[in-house]
Structure 1
């Protein structure tokens, strides 16, 4: 785990109480929060609070700093990661009690084995998980104390999705999952200018995606015009997002449906832009410390971009996002900082195993157990 040191402005996260969005439509979830109501963001006459201490994701090189940070950046974060952290993770409410689907079908693992056992004789036919309404597919970790969990499974061909009850309504920090879009938007800009991707851009894309390098992502973000890059998600992918702290890419507020839709869009659109095949290779080749362990369970070419940050003495955010042929899955977690990052990866794998079983993907337990 890297020492906090002096952070890249956009690499620090500061959670607040998310603003519930309006109901979702395919590839889109909501109108973004306004500047006056966005969590952690300054209102018309508010003074922004300084960001909380944090531990960033591993970085290959020292972070880049503006000589004079903008006033709304909130200044530099304290390097004292043991200090009291007033920030608390967003509440991700889950269904109370046993869901109707749970009562009717039992656990998803029971259903999976009933569907696939050679001599089951139960009469069950395989059923796609996306046929189930949000909040009706039970997952093993959803009611666990101290674990706030939101997830979504998207059918990328139709825009249909299922997930937790709040999958399209509760937002949290994107963390490094947004780096996939910063990379893709760089390719889009090259295509618009009818030029090849430069060597510097290619190097930063590879570093930001494969190694989750914050400094490389910061350079991509600044070249793209900062929030202009995330604002373009609406036109390019049909996903409207906003940041809770202007100038900070990790503060981009996303729901689980947003996260799944963004990575699915990147996977789908990248081949249309120069350097797209290299980006897809990057998304399939992230370094071991950034893998959730879910990739090995999935069929065909898989894109993966996760995000993980410990917010000082407060809490972890661990977000796991993958896209493959016809599907995208996002699992967003928050939990107390006293636990380690592996707790988040394990939660992602446990949720994925339940969801994939219900979606008819034959799991490989040995791959799941060793992290893939």
Structure 2
């Protein structure tokens, strides 16, 4: 059963304390360990388990322990999802609220365009590949809309939802960056890219290599705190943008060997970009078994 979080009152909207708790009890998903917050209400939910009660089996993965609590006291909204590909199990926080993907969606724009080129037995030219490379590595926006339009605009986002099995994603006409996505859909998209469905058999290795070589202001979040050997094999694409709604929107996506991670946040723009990138780092750090 899904254990819903308490709904915070409007008076607390400015400072929302969300603690990573169990995901929904959908097929292939099991609840994560209970999460402790600093609020008296959370402490009053029930007594601690008796020492005589055997604890739940711990996650056996060598890198992450997604059953452990993830807690932070930050302003705004944040959520996370960890997807164990080997067991088809999703862990993460609830509720599954969505947030803007911003530049993170560029990974899908490139994947969709490349896969469709492959399906039509077309070989992208060197200019197109160079533009797609800059779009991923440097998060260059100049040509992103061009490829998004060639993909079919909103039709492309709908294709992403269908192909990658997303359940909490909504597209917007004439915008890739305004796509609304939950953290667990980010983790699903990352798996979709990693297993070859998104870019197709011919271009998946190319795309993953570009994502492993993200540089500059887009290289933040999970990649910063992963062990050095894991960083080399981890593909990422992040999104970051201060919008007219007065909010910074941060999206972090990472996919490695048998796992993927999605973290979403938005908060008052006065706090700056680093406030959100720290959220992505801290969530990852708390999930890590080894550093």
Who is 2:92 aligned against?
Answer: 163
Q: 1:286 to 1:200 in 2, by over 3 A?
A: same
The equivalent residue for 2:206 is 278
- Aligned equivalents of 1:279, 1:196: Cα separation in 2: 15
Per-residue CA deviation, residues 93-146 of structure 1 (Å, 9 max, x unaligned), is: x996259899669xxxxxxxxxxxxxxxxx9985346774xxxx42231xx242
Residue 198 of structure 1 deviates from its aligned partner by: 2.4
**Closer, same or farther: CA 147–288 of 1 in aligned 2, 3 Å:** same
- 1:139 aligned residue (70, 73, 77): 70
Q: Which runs of 5+ in 1 are unaligned?
A: 1-21, 28-93, 106-122, 364-372
- The match for 2:145 is 218
Given the alignment of the two structures, is residue 337 of structure 1 paired with residue 269 of structure 2, yes or no? yes
Show the 5 A alignment for 1:4-83.
24-25=26-27
Q: 1:153 aligns with which of 82, 86, 89?
A: 82
- The answer to whether the 8 Å contact 1:130/1:162 transfers is no
User: What residue number does 2:42 align with?
Assistant: 97
Deviations 1:257-292 (A, max 9, x none): 101111221122167433332211110011131112
TM-score, structure 1 normalization: 0.59
CA contact (8 A) 1:256 1:332 kept: yes
Check whether the contact 1:201–1:220 (CA below 8 A) recurs between aligned residues: no
Question: Whole-Å Cα distance in 2 between the matches of residues 202 and 339 of structure 1?
Answer: 36
Aligned counterpart for 1:350 among listed residues 251, 276, 282: 282
> Greater strand percent: which structure?
2
Report the counterpart of residue 328 of structure 1 in structure 2.
260
Distance in 2 of aligned mates of 1:281 and 1:102: 49
Relative to structure 1, is the Cα distance of residues 193 and 271 closer, same or farther in structure 2, using a 3 angstrom cutoff? closer
Q: Which protein has the larger Cα radius of gyration, Structure 1 or Structure 2?
A: 1
Query: What is the rounded CA distance, in whole Å, between the counterparts of 1:101 and 1:320 in structure 2?
Result: 34
Total equivalences in the alignment = 246
Of 195, 207, 216, the residue aligned with 1:288 is 216
Determine the C-alpha separation between the residues in 2 that align with 1:344 and 1:101: 32
8 Å contact 2:98–2:181 — kept in the other structure? yes
* 2:123 counterpart residue number: 196
Judge conservation of contact 1:154–1:260 (CA < 8 Å) in 2.
yes
Deviations 1:305-357 (A, max 9, x none): 00000124711111111010111111111111111111111111111111123
Q: CA RMSD in A?
A: 3.2
Which moves more between the two structures, 309-318 or 319-328?
Answer: 309-318
3-state DSSP class of the match of 2:116? helix
Cα distance in 2 for residues equivalent to 1:219 and 1:152: 31
**Partner in structure 2 of residue 113 of structure 1:** none
Distance 1:198 1:131, change over 3 A: same
